[in-house]
Chains A and B, each alone.
Chain A
Amino acid sequence: MWSFFHKLGSPPWLYRIAGSILRWLLPITLLMLCVGLVWGLLFTAPDFRQGNSYRIIYIHVPAAVVALAGYYVMAIAGGVSLIWKMKMADVAMRACAPVGAALTFIALVTGAIWGKPTWGTWWVWDARITSMLILLFLYLGVVALYEAYDNKEAASKACAVLTLVGTVNIPIIYKSVDWWYSLHQPASIKFTGESSIDPSMLYPLLLMIAAFYALFTCCLLMNMRADILQREARTNWVRKLALEYRA
C-alpha cells in the first residue's frame, strides 16, 4: 500500500504507467464517443415535448457532469499538494484545469444552443447557469494564476488555495435548481428512486457520460505526461527518452 503511494510520487513511474493506461483507454474512449454520438443523434426517438432539440442532452449533460466531477479531482489533488507537498499531485491539479475548462465551456455553449429553441433565449442569469460560469472562471483562473507567477512553487501553492476555496461553488451548482426558482430543469437521472427519463434515452446518455469520464481521464493523463517531461527536463531519464524519441 505505502509502496504504491511512494511509486505514485515518482515521475518516471507515473509517466510510464500513464502511457500504458492510455494505450488501451484512448481507443476505448474514442469508440464509446463515436457509438454514443451516433446513437444519440440518429437512433433515439425525439422527445415528445422538445422534439429533436433534446438530442443536445447527449453532450450537454455528460460535459456538465464531468466538469463538476473534474473539479473534485482538482480540489483533492490541490489539497494533497498543499498538505503533503507532493509534486505529482500538483502536476495532476494543473492537468485538470484546461480539461475542466473545456468541458464547462461545452456545457455552457451547448446549453445556450439548447435554450434558444426550448426557452426562447440563449442566456439567462439563472442560478445554475451563473454558477457554471463561475466554475469556468475558476478553471481558467487556475491556468492563469499559474502562468502569472515566475516562482513556480509559489504559483502551485496559490493555485491549490484557489482550487480549495472554489470548492464552495460545487454544492451551489448541484443544489441551484432546488434552492432557487430556475429555468433550468431539475435532474432527470436519480441514484435513488425512479429516473424521469425513458430507458431508450437513458442508455445512450449513460454511455456518453461514461465516454466523457474516460475522455477526462485520458486528457488528464496526457497533460500530466507532458507536464512531467517539462518539469523533469534536466533528469537523465527524460534526456534519454528525448534521444530515443528522435531516433
Chain B
Amino acid sequence: MYFETLEAAIAMDGHGGFVWSAYGICLLVLFFILLAPRRRQKKILLRLAGEQKRQQGGPITLEEGK
C-alpha cells in the first residue's frame, strides 16, 4: 500500500475530499444502474403473476397486487 496510515489515506495530502467524494458519487451511480433493472424485472414478473392468479380467481399477495 502506498499510504502508511489510514489517516494519510483519508487525507491524501489535502486532496482526500476531492478523491473520496468523486469515488463515492461514482459508486453510488454504479450501484443504482446495476440495481434498477433488477428491480424493474422483479416488479414486472410479480405483476404478471398477480394478473394470472387474479384471472384464475386465486388469492393474491399485497406485492402482486401493486
Contacts and interface: CB of A to CB of B under 8 A. Distances in A.
B37 A219 contact: yes
B41 A222 contact: yes
A149 B59 CA distance: 36
Interface in B13-66: 13-16, 18-19, 21-23, 25-27, 29-30, 32-34, 36-38, 40-41, 44-46, 48-49, 52-53, 64
Nearest to A30: B34
Interface stretch (A99-107, A124-132, A135-143, A170-178): A99-107
Contacts of B53: 246
By size class, the interface of chain B is 35 or more
A95 B37 CA distance: 10
Given A106-B25, A110-B26, A246 B37 contact: no
Contacts, number: 112
A44 B9 CA distance: 12
Contacts of B26: 59, 63, 106, 109-110
Contact of A110 (B13, B25, B46, B49): B25
A99 B33 contact: yes
Contacts of A63: 26
Q: Lowest 9 CB-CB distances: which A-B pairs, in order?
A: A242-B48, A222-B37, A52-B12, A246-B49, A53-B15, A52-B15, A242-B49, A226-B41, A226-B40
Interface of B: 1-3, 9, 12-16, 18-19, 21-23, 25-27, 29-30, 32-34, 36-38, 40-41, 44-46, 48-49, 52-53, 64
